[in-house]
Amino acid sequence: MDDTRKAGMLRAVFILLMIGFVLFAMPAPGVQAKQDNSQLSNDRFTTDESGFFASAEETHIPAAAAERKIDKAAVQNLKVIPGGQSLGVQLETLGVLVVGHHLVTTETGKASPGEEAEVKVGDAILEINGDKINHMEDVKPYVEKSGAEEKPLNLKLKRGERMIKTELMPKKSKKNGEYQLGLYIRDSAAGIGTMTFYEPGSKKYGALGHIISDMDTKKPIEINNGTIVRSSVTAIEKGNSGQPGEKQAKFSIADHHLGNITKNSPFGIFGKLNGDLANGMMDQPLPIALSNEVKDGPAKILTVVKGEKVEAFDVEIVSNVPQKHPATKGMVVKITDKELLKRTGGIVQGMSGSPIIQNGKVIGAVTHVFVNDPTSGYGVHIEWMLQDAGIDLYKSNKKAS
């Protein structure tokens, strides 16, 4: 297949394979939180909607590593243990995230203090009156004091890469007598995804294969910290043309923590495991294949479709595009396994991050599903996930002295 045709296939209509996450936040007086539609029971929850959003645009990352030469010895010596496990993920945002505005009904009319202060959706509130803000409950005392003293709040916001300062004067609600910001905010998110790999020596891991973005703001979530635990798949909603399916799963964040989350990038989430993590079928380290080593043809993916059991299923690499620079979509993957098609209809939400194995090597992870053909989707090359996990495959540009 020539490069022109491959590029054409990579421009096909698709919907991003979101990871089946449900965003949640506890409301606090004086602020508003987005409604949580997850089903809670005994501190466990079942994900029942897609809460995290990831942009449908392909991401190209200008990285210094892309300009360096591959260290062939490092690649030959590197081995990783493939994943496939279903993960429960909890993220805490950097500061508190503004996800919407609302009007406050006062004695003199309706207004949104947040909008008047030019606080925008997607902003992260990092500080109030010079004090660091980590959680939604941190906000309430400042709002009450500001209203009682009739003094505006001094906010420090992060908007993209910019730091912005503004003043916000809360308004008293006629309905309940409380002072309010006129903002919807949240400070955490939780849901499920799939482990891709970990490096047995350093315990560095990669999962999901794409960035996690907020469903309301459509912007990447900047994380303060996070945790991964095991999750159990309870049901599968099969995918159909025009409507991707999804895994339904449950987990408890109180369960044994598998590791932390230190990075949320276009190539997935990354961190360090607390110990070894077995999948029960491919627990020995495997070599990796660079993008130019991937071949069109048969391969396998590892994923969970029931409980916590990792299974291998047949797929085909329909098209592979060797990449010199980091980019999020490098392969077109088609599910060919009859049993998997029977059980899921193809690629479903929650399968994102499922490792792809070809010729005994880890080559990448499933990341997207085509909206008009749920049997097919995109995959990301493993080398870009390794790079963001902090595993170096490249020679230094510095000349030896």
Q: Which residues are catalytic?
A: 210, 337, 352
Residue type, 3: D
d(CA 57, CA 166): 32
With beta carbons less than 8 A apart as the criterion, state whether 224 and 189 touch. Answer: no
The rounded radius of gyration (Å) of the Cα atoms in the chain is 23
Q: Which helix (H) or strand (E) holds 227?
A: strand 223-230
Q: Which residues contact 265 (CB under 8 A, 6 or more apart)?
A: 211, 388
Q: Say which DSSP state 67 is in.
A: G
d(CA 175, CA 311): 55
d(CA 228, CA 377): 25
DSSP codes joined into one string, 179-219: EE-SEEEEEEEEEEEEEEEE-TTT-EEEESSS--EETTT-S
Q: Say which DSSP state 385 is in.
A: H
DSSP codes joined into one string, 326-383: -BS--EEEEE--HHHHHHHSSSEET-TT-EEEETTEEEEEE-EEBTTBTTEEEEEEHH
Q: Which helix (H) or strand (E) holds 37?
A: none
Q: Which helix (H) or strand (E) holds 144?
A: helix 139-149
Q: How many Cβ atoms sit within 10 Å of the Cβ of residue 238? A: 16
Q: What are phi and psi of 273, to 5 degrees?
A: -75, 155
d(CA 270, CA 263): 5
With beta carbons less than 8 A apart as the criterion, state whether 98 and 25 touch. Answer: no
Would the CA dihedral through 33, 35, 37, 41 be positive or negative? Answer: positive
